[in-house]
Amino acid sequence: MKHKRLDLASEIKRASLPAGLPGFLYPVFEAVSNALHSIEDKYTLSAHEDGFIRVEIDIDAKTIVVEDNGEGFSAANLDAFLTPFTGNKLRRNGKGFGRFVSFKIFDSVFYASPTKFLDGRVANAVFEYLPLDQDDNLKELNSSEHLAPHKHDTGLTVKFCNPKDEYLKYFDFANEAKEDDYTEEEILIALLDHFLLEFVQKKTPQNFLCVIGGATFNLSDYFTESVTQRDQDTVLFEIDGEHVEFHLRYMQIDAKKSKRHSLYFYADNRATSDLENIAKGLRDTPFNDQKRRYNYLVSVTSPYFKATQSRDRIENLGIEIQHQGKQRSLKDALAVEAKARILELEPIYTGTRRATIKSNVEELIALDPVLRRGLGGKTLDEFVSERGITESKEQLAQDLFVERLRSKFDFRKINSKTPLEELQRVVRDNIPADAKEALAVYVAYRNDVIKVLTEMLDRRSDGSVAKEDAVHELIYPRYKDSDEIDYSSHNLWLIDDDLAYAEYISSDRTPKGKQREKGSFAHDILVNNEKELLIVEMKRPHKKGFAAVENAAKPTDNPVQQLISQIGEIRDFGGVTTSGDRKVEVSQDNMVRGYVIADWNDDLETYLKDNDFKITNFGGPMAYKYFDTRNMIIEVLAFDRLKDRAAKRNMVFVDILEGKTNYAGLRISRLAGE
């Protein structure tokens, strides 16, 4: 049994074409590609000098003719032409099917060529191509009514006639009212873009003519005029213990005549790769020098390159090498080198982008000052100099978060029934070795800290409430200071993002450094910066029974006096002592800010009014009062306000994840609500 006849009609119907002008020109691209191969087969090394291609678009007759002086219908080529899906094109990455797709656009196709027939006869013949005919697919014609005999001793002429209705518009250049507005030059640009690599290699003949509506253009000249040799460079890589040279040549090509910044590789004096897109990490759009817009085209050659037998690719481009401290493929390393050199050749663009990146980093740090830790000890300029030139704000945030977070937290076991203690443990202690998707992890981490705080503030089903110590531990570990723990071990951002990278932070200590002893009331949390000292006094969630000192049942019922006493001791001592027995000076001129954090209720509000506090409800209930003698201000914040403000600040990072932030460099006062 034999295979049934190939259903070409269905294959043609299933074939898809690009939209717009490239789709209309598909038959031309195929015909020119065949012509280039035929010319190369005939003339080999002199193809550029001796070859000839002519493309003519007749606007009135609505026909397209492609003519060349290659091998034409030799016996081998004729046999391949009559074989659907021939393997003749495989060595050039073709499929042997392009000639059939022409019938998606044109109803009639004719060929003319000095032909060596299968029976040995030789004649300059004209044919109509009928791929779906049952008897004769390449029908020899006795007249030249549709196509004149080929003009050269060898080669081929193909003529596309009778375009389908939907493609008639592409012959109408003069109609200004048509929807698809394109010019004769756009056809030249489309041809140049499609065969750009061939033009670069001089595999196209210098006599490559395109005639449109009677006007003649030389595409080789058109290409030459659009390309400028910009630079050349040699890089040295160590491969298998040997130093290997790679030579890079940089060309600038008019943006209208190329789609993107590209790189390609040479081996054995010919390109052995498609154009590699190197726009990522360089620039998505063309460069502009005020005179023109252009893309870069980079060629790479090296005696190290080893081409496959068919010479259609380089075998050893994928080897792994050490490059700039990273493991990269040879191809990727060469692309990195090419992009770095292009950035050196474009100092104005590079400087502008670095300034933008610096501004973005400053913005992120302003949004969340703890991200300053993400600089990893580098100055801002040092950090920016190491970033990729096209890094977005989102990418920068992720890099900063990687440094900010030492870990990726695992929240898979958290649910509504998870005990409070387990929630705390997961948030604070469950730290894998690496942080991935750091920005999203950071947002998730903050969300879960807020969730833990919410659990603490809510009364449990048995009527009990979280102790003050539990809230304290969540915000900052008790009996510790910043000499003992780092920024990643606390959640001071719940109060204010600025606090996370303060000069000195301590918990449950007296000014002289001793931990809180029974019966004493050292500060809950102390934060010291160069110009400001901040002390936090926290109260148990749902606490009531606040009273002025003369009426207080116990000292903890009078948090304002607690803060006044603590601040007075620090003023009198002149500073605080660290766990390492180092004294941190606190100038008498330094402003001191005291925070009381408690659940807002009638008892608290009455207590604050009795102490002459100014009460506001902007962004949630709070109160404040300035004490001139001690140069301090005390603010009283509700736990709910603290939680809500932290949640809203975290939404900034959700917006960053979703690309919605429109931050304009404005800071929000700590006294103001969001």
pLDDT tens, position by position, 113-133? 998 887 888 889 899 888 777
Which among 254, 276, 277 has a CA at the least distance from the CA of 265? 276
User: Do residues 598 and 559 lie in contact, with contact meaning Cβ atoms separated by under 8 Å?
Assistant: yes
pLDDT band at 433 (very low <50, low <70, confident <90, very high): very low
User: Do residues 503 and 496 lie in contact, with contact meaning Cβ atoms separated by under 8 Å?
Assistant: no
Q: Which of 43-52, 284-293, 508-517, 661-670 has the lowest mean pLDDT?
A: 661-670
Residue 525: predicted pLDDT: 84
pLDDT tens across 192-229, in order? 888 887 888 788 999 999 999 888 999 999 888 888 88
CB atoms within 10 A of CB 662: 5
Q: Domains, the chain, ranges and CATH?
A: 8-213 (3.30.565.10), 227-345 (no CATH), 350-448 (no CATH), 465-657 (no CATH)
Which among 320, 337, 55, 316 has a CA at the least distance from the CA of 184? 55
Helix, strand and coil content of the chain, in percent to the nearest 5, comes to 35, 25, 40
In the chain, the amino acid numbered 198 is E
Q: Which of 189-198, 417-426, 462-471, 567-576 has the lowest mean pLDDT?
A: 417-426
- Better-predicted residue by pLDDT, 149 or 424: 149
**pTM of the complete model:** 0.52
CA dist., res. 346 & res. 283, Å (int):
11
CB atoms within 10 A of CB 244: 16
pLDDT tens across 487-527, in order? 667 777 777 766 666 778 888 888 887 655 554 557 888 88
CA dist., res. 386 & res. 185, Å (int):
42
H helices within 295-419, ranges in order? 330-345, 347-367, 380-385, 393-404
B/e letters for 151-175, b = 16+ CB within 10 Å, e = fewer, are ebebbbbbbbbebeeeeeebbebee
CA dist., res. 306 & res. 251, Å (int):
24
CA dist., res. 396 & res. 362, Å (int):
11
CB atoms within 10 A of CB 188: 20
Phi, psi for 576 (deg, rounded to 5): -135, 155
CA dist., res. 641 & res. 622, Å (int):
8
